[in-house]
Amino acid sequence: MCGLVGIVGNITLKDVNTFKEMLVLDSVRGYDSVGVFSLKKNGEEQLVKSVDAVANALETKKFIRATTGEFRVLIGHNRAASVGSVNINNAHPFDFEHIVGAHNGTLTGWKFDLEDSKQFEVDSECLFHNINKKGIEHTYGKAEGAMALSWYDRRDQSVNLLRNDERPLYVATNKAKDVYYWASEPWMISVALGHQGLEASELVRLDSHKLMKIVGKEVSVNTLTPFRRATQSWVGNTGSIVGYVPYKNGNTSTNKNDLYIHGDEIEFEVLRITSATTSTPNLNVVCRDVCKPYSEFNFWVHRELDKKLLDVLSDSVNTFTAKVSSCIAGVIRIQNHTIKEIVEDNVAPFNKAH
């Protein structure tokens, strides 16, 4: 659990004090690190982070500089680390060419669903990298897991707020409707405003999947399509497991014509090789369809007769192709003798005659 706070608009000194108090109150949602992005009315940006306690961080010179002046945007975040180490680099907000933003939540499957994931230790940083590179509509449809987001986009000078069903985010405005406040919990806004003698005219929970974009006095709300993964229970070669329907090319259609059939070629990577008992002659190879990263299936390899193939499957970091034997009611089987290793655009077959 992390926490988001922020203010955008015609920010006054009392609003700045409100922001700093919200940031302190928000520390109940995360104490591993704290970060602030500020944009002054003259266009000057500052991004500061600390792994110290919020109250202590706000007393440091860099945080004082970042929260002193006349501002258009203030974005704050308190982190409760769930993915990645606790250090300055992994603290929010994350800054990229076009955007700087903060995330509350934890993504699942991001290492397979999001682009360039191997470059990042933290799911949140990878998420904003993808938003910066591919846009929010594309990325939101690819990202699975809990999220509430706040970010500033330099391209249109907008502040953007978004959440899904798994994380809260509350938004308020002042009576003049020229300042907007947001926080992960509503009481943080109310308490901080009250201490400054201010009052919100509206305080609402942002609807799930509704992107709120604030540009100056203009506010727009658009509905985004969230991540969806089609799933069903199906039977692997060694028993009943929960997997994902193995459609061709990662298609999620329920049309039977889209299912793999005998003779189709499938590309896969090996996840692990296991054995139920030491006495069985077969080892169970658990694989993932690379076109649909959560489509797992199993096949057997004989300990002795297929030893050369087993060695390659165990040690190779490459992917493989094979011909599908059958796919009935979600059960996918491959023809072991058609397995080929993909090596630098060359395909090497491995079979009993090899």
At 253, the pLDDT band (50, 70, 90 cuts) reads very low
3-223 sits in which CATH class?
Answer: alpha beta
CA distance 193 to 208: 25
The architecture (CATH level 2) of 232-349 comes to: Beta Barrel (2.40)
Task: Inform me whether the pLDDT recorded for 354 exceeds 70.
Answer: no
**Buried/exposed code over 202-216 (b: 16+ C-beta within 10 A; e: otherwise):** ebeebebeebbbbee
- Which among 11, 156, 170, 37 is positioned nearest to 102, based on CA atoms? 37
Q: What is the pLDDT of residue 328?
A: 60
DSSP string, 135-169: -HHHHHHH--B--EEEEEETTTTEEEEEE-TTS--
At 265, the pLDDT band (50, 70, 90 cuts) reads confident
At 353, the pLDDT band (50, 70, 90 cuts) reads very low
CB 9 within 8 A of CB 16: no
- Which among 33, 142, 7, 17 is positioned nearest to 67, based on CA atoms? 17
At 263, the pLDDT band (50, 70, 90 cuts) reads confident
Give 209-219 pLDDT, tens digit per residue: 999 999 998 99
At 158, the pLDDT band (50, 70, 90 cuts) reads very high
Query: The tokens of 296 are what?
Result: 């797992």
Q: What is the pLDDT of residue 134?
A: 95
Q: What is the pLDDT of residue 329?
A: 53
Lowest mean pLDDT among 2-16, 118-132, 272-286: 272-286
Distance, C-alpha 294 to centroid of its chain: 16
Those residues with Cβ within 8 angstroms of residue 42's Cβ, 6 or more apart along the chain or in another chain: 70
Mean pLDDT of the chain: 83
Give 32-41 pLDDT, tens digit per residue: 999 999 999 9
DSSP letter assigned to residue 88 = S
Lowest mean pLDDT among 87-91, 252-256, 284-288, 301-305: 252-256
Query: H or E element: which one contains 308?
Result: helix 307-315
Query: H or E element: which one contains 61?
Result: helix 61-66
Pick the more confident residue, 136 or 341. Answer: 136
Q: What is the pLDDT of residue 252?
A: 44
Task: Inform me whether the pLDDT recorded for 196 exceeds 60.
Answer: yes
Task: Inform me whether the pLDDT recorded for 192 exceeds 70.
Answer: yes
CB 3 within 8 A of CB 77: yes
Give 11-58 pLDDT, tens digit per residue: 999 999 999 999 999 999 999 999 999 999 999 999 999 999 999 999
Pick the more confident residue, 168 or 228. Answer: 168
CB 93 within 8 A of CB 151: yes
CA distance 112 to 294: 9
- Taking residues 171-192, report their average pLDDT: 96
Those residues with Cβ within 8 angstroms of residue 16's Cβ, 6 or more apart along the chain or in another chain: 7, 67, 68, 71, 74
Every domain range in the chain assigned CATH 2.40.50: 232-349
Q: What is the pLDDT of residue 67?
A: 97
Give 117-155 pLDDT, tens digit per residue: 889 999 999 999 999 999 999 999 989 889 999 999 999
- Taking residues 240-248, report their average pLDDT: 37
Pick the more confident residue, 82 or 153. Answer: 153
Q: What is the pLDDT of residue 312?
A: 77
Q: How many helices (H) and strands (E) does the chain have?
A: 8, 22
Q: What is the pLDDT of residue 168?
A: 96
Q: What is the pLDDT of residue 220?
A: 97
Task: Inform me whether the pLDDT recorded for 79 exceeds 80.
Answer: yes
Every domain range in the chain assigned CATH 3.60.20.10: 3-223
Task: Inform me whether the pLDDT recorded for 255 exceeds 60.
Answer: no
CA distance 163 to 7: 17
Pick the more confident residue, 166 or 233. Answer: 166
pTM (predicted TM-score): 0.67
CA distance 53 to 78: 10
